Structure 1
Amino acid sequence: MPRHIACLTFDFDTWSSFAVRGMTTPTPISRGEFGLVGAKRILALMAKYGIRTTWFVPGIVIDTYPEACAEIVAAGHEIAHHGYTHELPAAMDAEREEREMLRAIECIRRLTGRAPRGYRSAAWDLSDATLDLLLKHGFDYESSMMGHDHQPYFVRQGDVVSADEPMRFGKQTRLVELPISWSLDDHPHFEFLRTKSFLMPGLQAADGVLKNFTDDFVYMTREETDWGALTYTFHPYVVGRGHRMLLLERLILALQEMGASFMAMEDLADEWLGRQDARAAAQ
């Protein structure tokens, strides 16, 4: 029987993604704080359909809104690592990145009673040191890369890449990659963002985005005749707006009609590893 999985994930950044861009005036901060409103709506919707999800939460958000984060835990959802601030790992040196990583681990441990199993970097931009740090500090999975769309894979460490030479591949690690895609992220589709250096137009109609989201799942069911998993990324301050909440519910209903199994990321990683073990034992 074919098995097709949908992971609904939420990057609960609130105002942290604006602050690291220097946008700390009242309006962008309030825009991020709308994520608290969106989070309540999302939790109610997930409870309605009995779906367990994964929330990637910066440590600074846990420290600022402990009650809101505790509600996510109380509802049975997974809390995963999303840095302490929302600064890009590639913009930090290795020492600072590790300090921030450890600080956020302690925030999550304090909130949930255990260390996080999964990691997602800010803006999906890993540094040269990130994978070493994830392995050093015991993470089981990572979700910032795009080497497949329907299949997890083991992360390579130590690739050597230059513009004018063939790539030299590094070694395979035990870290599981649960891949993502900008096309399955609500932020670039919907968010209008203007700074001195760039413009993100956003503000697309929800129906067109919903068709993208559902068509990718349709394609997976055709391409992966045995087993496949697709990860969707949402931000509560983005998807929490009314017409986008309707999109999210329609997505759930459409995926249910196609036989989707909904799963948190840590459970997906466990299932995929179990399949690898079973395959190895059968050889």
Structure 2
Amino acid sequence: MDDMTPVEWPNGARCAVMLTFDFDAETLWLSRDPDNARRPGVLSQGVYGGKTGVPKILELLREEHLKATFFVPGWTAEKYADRVEAIAAGGHEIGHHGYLHEWIDPDFPEKEREALEKGLESLRKTVGIKPAGYRSPAGETSQNMIGLLKEYGFLYDSSLMDQVSPYRHVLPDGSDGPVELPWHWSLDDAPYALFAIKSPRPIFTNEHILSIWKQEFMEIYRWGGLVNIVTHPQIIGRPSRLAMLREFIAFVRRYPDVWFATGQEVANAWAAKAKTP
């Protein structure tokens, strides 16, 4: 099925909207530059995500009566176990996001497997779950990834940007792989608002971000596809950006037949419909 074919979403919905939060905390900065371990000022942006961002996001989701998906690195789950437990207690989905937000090097497949296993073990130890979904840190993947996800029993992946609707991966041997839930940088808060002294760039206004998200939503709604919003507690959890997210939710709700869902719900619904003749 190509992008132009509307998906038959549950209960006659016109499109699906996923609100996802990559709870990287300090791993975002440690994976970019190990020297940041000595720089509390840099790391404090990640600390904000765990200390303030996640609780305020959970508060917003409660107020809006919405369930979301949080992709959590294993390191983050270990340090912020109380926050991850609060996410689970709120009925939200927890997905896999590496161990230390590692950027995968395709030349070292054993390190990719190690990060996958360590992340799984951390989520098992902290909240006792085996995640159904995976998102690669920074969108960095390898040719091995989809095979690994099938081997470890993942229902879906959300790492690629080649469609706006879900599809099924097919492995080299012709067997079915996980469902892909595509995303794109234009629906990610990081390109607009992530700032680092070592690589400074403009911080876009919330109005700029919101205008793109709204226009992307409107067209994907017309296509009948999946709107996969990718955010980070240390970014979207800032006061004005929480207000921006609330405004986006209100905008989406003005459209009829929109299904807000977790990644697992979307993957299950798409897979069930794909099996129907």
TM-score by length of 2: 0.90
2:173 is aligned with 1:140: no
Partner Cα distance (1:73, 1:47) in 2: 13
The alignment partner of 1:193 has SS state of coil
Structure 1: which 5+ residue stretches go unaligned?
A: 159-169
Query: Displacement, 1:200?
Result: 5.0
Distance 1:187 1:16 in 2: 14
Rounded Cα–Cα distance in structure 1 between residues aligned with 2:177 and 2:171 = 10
Distance 2:200 2:184 in 1: 17
- How far apart, in 2, do the equivalents of 1:126 and 1:258 lie? 35
In structure 1, what is the equivalent of residue 141 of structure 2? Answer: 126
Q: CA deviation at 1:194?
A: 3.8
Amino acid at match of 2:232: H
**CA distances 1:45-101 after superposition (whole Å, capped 9, x unpaired):** 000011110000000001111111111111111110001111112266122221221
C-alpha distance in 2 between matches for 1:131 and 1:274: 20
* Amino acid of the structure 2 residue aligned with 1:16: T
Partner of 1:71: 86
Aligned mate of 1:178, from 155, 177, 181: 181
Paired position in structure 1 for 2:18: 7
The DSSP-based 3-state class of the residue aligned with 2:62 is: helix
Aligned pairs (5 A) from 1:1-283 = 1-20=12-31, 21-22=33-34, 23-24=36-37, 25-36=39-50, 37-90=52-105, 93-149=108-164, 151-158=165-172, 171=174, 173-195=176-198, 199-224=199-224, 228-259=225-256, 260-278=258-276, 280=277
Match of 1:164 in 2: none
Determine if contact 1:59/1:107 at 8 Å carries over to the other structure. yes
Distance 1:92 1:119, change over 3 A: farther
Distance in structure 1 (CA, Å) of the matches to 2:232 and 2:202: 14
CA distance in 2, matches of 1:107, 1:63: 6
In 1, the alpha carbon distance for the partners of 2:203 and 2:194 equals 6
Distance in 2, matches of 1:244 and 1:91, equals 35
Q: Which has the higher strand share?
A: 1
**Cα drift, residue 114 of structure 1:** 2.7
Over 3 Å counting, the alpha-carbon distance change for 1:256 and 1:120 in structure 2 is same
CA distance in 2, matches of 1:231, 1:202: 24
Q: How many aligned positions are there?
A: 261
Query: 1:90 is paired with a residue of what secondary structure?
Result: coil
Aligned AA (1:213)? W
- Per-residue CA deviations over 1:200-241 (Å, capped at 9, x if unaligned) read 5141010121111011111122223xxx22100000000111
**What is the Cα deviation at residue 173 of structure 1?**
2.8
Provide the rounded CA distance (Å) in 2 between the counterparts of 1:81 and 1:64: 15
* Partner AA of 2:24 in structure 1: D
Identity of aligned residues (%): 31
Cα displacement string for residues 232-268 of structure 1 (whole angstroms, at most 9, x for unaligned residues): 0000000111111110000110111113221000000
- Supply the distance in 1 between the matched residues of 2:125 and 2:273 (Cα, whole angstroms): 32
Structure 2 spans left out of the alignment, 5+ residues: 1-11
Q: CA RMSD of the aligned region, Å?
A: 1.6
* Partner secondary structure for residue 88 of structure 1: coil
Q: Which residue of 1 aligns with 2:9?
A: none
